[in-house]
Amino acid sequence: MLREAAARPRRMLGVAVVAFVMLLQLLTDVVAGRESARIWARMVFMIFELPLLMVTLSWLFDWSVRQRVSASRGLGAGIAIATAFGCVFGVLFGLVALHVPDLRLHYPNGSNPIPRSMLFGVLNAQLYCGLWALAFVYPFAVETAGARAFEARHLQVQAELARLRAHLEPHFLLNTLNAIAGLVTEEPREARRLLVCLGDLLRDAVSETSELQTLDKQVAWLRRYAQILEARHHGALRFRWDVPSECAPVLLPRLLLQPLVENAVKHGALRRGDGAGEVVVRASRRDDGYLVCVIEDNGPGMPDSDVRAGAFGLQSVRRRLELEVPRASLRLESSSDGMRSIVEIAPHGG
């Protein structure tokens, strides 16, 4: 039903264009004082043959789409149908002209009207078949090409997201396993506890099927992740959290903040050298509804020239924002007091 409703405007457009062109030709013949046989032939074609030809060609087009007929075969079938219609109506017109001479439908030279009227019918049918194809099939082809281009872009985006996750999740897993490995001999009980925590993290990471998740779920996941890091770097690293409840339901890409937290730990807090590394995770809502997430460390910071533009963590966050969230951004602020990664996300649907 939806497909039929979508095709109806295109079908009406095709018929209207053909009828309009034919009417213009008819008026041209009248103004030019052409012979009555030609004018009557056009009128008969418009009244009787044109509707049947348009309906048949529309049915042929729908059938070709359903059966996935090639363009050349569909075009050949359309030409054959138009030729058959032209022959039949041309012969009928010729017979009327031959047997009812009072209508004066014959041509001035007095020759047999049937061959000429049949040729006239075939040529007109081919002409209007071509016009119909341009008016009906061309818009359909343009819409189909647009839909295919959109689908291709959508599939490309999905493939890009899958590639980003394929890099991100094993990257995180290997780093976490290395962190736990350092505790196996020194603190086996703590290592077992963290393995359980890691299991919970992986379960939550793979159980989510949607690309977006609420901030409260992401922060809960990050807290478990932070427990592993704090245990691995006992006494040298701690986390602080400032996430108000009004930010909890805001949607953002799944695992978006994890690479930023990892960068803050590895390239910031742990590089202090005095064993007092700290990472702060903050969130707030601006007056315009934007969610602002800040990942801040108290490390040495990085001059702009030293920021690794090709680092996968930052690159993945930027790319995911481009692909998944409209009107979102990531910016970095570095100073001698540390590094801040700031993510700004528009209200959902904004």
**pLDDT tens-digit map of 38-68:** 566 667 666 777 777 777 877 877 787 777 7
Residue 318 lies in a domain: yes
User: Which of 132, 152, 172 is a domain's end point?
Assistant: 152
Q: Which among 99, 132, 152 is the end of a domain?
A: 152
Answer yes or no: do 8 and 140 share one domain.
yes
Specify whether 120 is located in the same domain as 205.
Answer: no
pLDDT for 4: 47
- pLDDT greater than 80 at residue 15: no
Tokens of 112: 């047999």
In this structure, is residue 102 part of a structural domain? yes
pLDDT of residue 348: 65
CA distance 27 to 44: 14
pLDDT at 278 over 90: yes
Distance set, CA 191 to CA 147, 170, 228 (Å): 53, 20, 9
Per-residue pLDDT, 310: 47
Place of tokens 């400032």: 242
Residue 261 and residue 131 share a domain: no
Q: Is residue 31 part of a domain?
A: yes
The reply to whether 334 and 199 lie within a common domain is yes
Quote the CA–CA distance of 317 and 330 in Å, as a whole number: 8
Q: Do 124 and 208 reside in the same domain of the chain?
A: no
Evaluate whether residue 25 is within a structural domain.
yes
Sequence-distant (≥ 6) Cβ neighbours of residue 21 within 8 angstroms: 128, 131
Q: pTM surpassing 0.85?
A: no
Q: How far apart are CA 84 and CA 252, in angstroms?
A: 62
Q: Name which of 281, 268, 278 is nearest 241 in CA terms.
A: 281
| pLDDT of the residue at 238 | 94
pLDDT at residue 271 greater than cutoff 70: yes
Does residue 207 sit in the same domain as residue 336? yes
Who wins on pLDDT, 23 or 86? 86
Residue 254 lies in a domain: yes
Two structure tokens written together for 275: 């064993």
Q: How far does Cα 336 stand from its chain's mean position?
A: 44
Question: CATH no. for residue 280?
Answer: 3.30.565.10
Structure-token match 């030809």, residue found: 53
Do 47 and 93 belong to one domain?
yes
Domains of the chain: total: 2
Instruction: Tell whether 334 and 186 lie within a shared domain.
Output: yes
pLDDT category of residue 344 using cuts at 50, 70 and 90? very high
CA dihedral 312, 317, 321, 322 (to 10 degrees): -20
Residues above pLDDT 90, as percent of the chain: 15
User: Residue 213 falls within a domain, yes or no?
Assistant: yes
Max Cα-Cα span within the chain: 116
Q: Provide mean pLDDT across the span 215-232.
A: 87
Residue 172 lies in a domain: no
Does 25 share its domain with 139? yes
Q: Are 22 and 42 in contact (CB under 8 A)?
A: yes
Q: Is 166 domain-assigned?
A: no
* pLDDT at residue 298 in the model: 92
Q: What is the pLDDT averaged over residues 127-147?
A: 69
Share of the chain above pLDDT 70, in %: 63
Closest CA to 164 of 101, 256, 236: 256
Same-domain status, 236 and 330 = yes
Phi, psi of 120 (to 5 degrees): -60, -40
DSSP string, 241-260: EE--GGGTT-EEETT-SHHH
Whose structure tokens read 């427990």? 227
As a whole number, mean pLDDT of residues 330-336 equals 89
Tens-place pLDDT, residues 74-124:
778 888 888 888 788 777 777 776 666 654 555 545 556 677 777 777 877
Residues 94 and 191 in one domain: no
C-alpha to C-alpha distance for 259 and 253, rounded to whole angstroms: 12
- E strand or H helix that includes residue 323: helix 312-324
pLDDT in tens, 224-254: 888 888 887 888 999 999 999 999 999 988 8
CA 152 – CA 168 distance, rounded (Å): 24
Q: How confident is the model at residue 28 (pLDDT cuts 50, 70, 90)?
A: low
b/e for 209-219, b at 16 or more Cβ within 10 A? eebebebebbb
198 and 337, same domain (yes or no) = yes
Contact predicate 323/157, CB 8 Å: yes
- For residues 306 and 229, which has the higher predicted lDDT (pLDDT)? 229
Q: Do 238 and 230 touch, CB atoms closer than 8 A?
A: yes
- State the pLDDT at residue 300: 86
| Residues facing residue 237 across a β-bridge | 277
In the DSSP assignment, the letter for residue 338 is: E
Helix (H, G, I), strand (E, B) or coil at 297: strand
Give the domain extent around 237. Answer: 182-345
Q: What is the mean pLDDT of residues 325-336?
A: 87
Tell me what the mean pLDDT of segment 180-185 comes to: 78
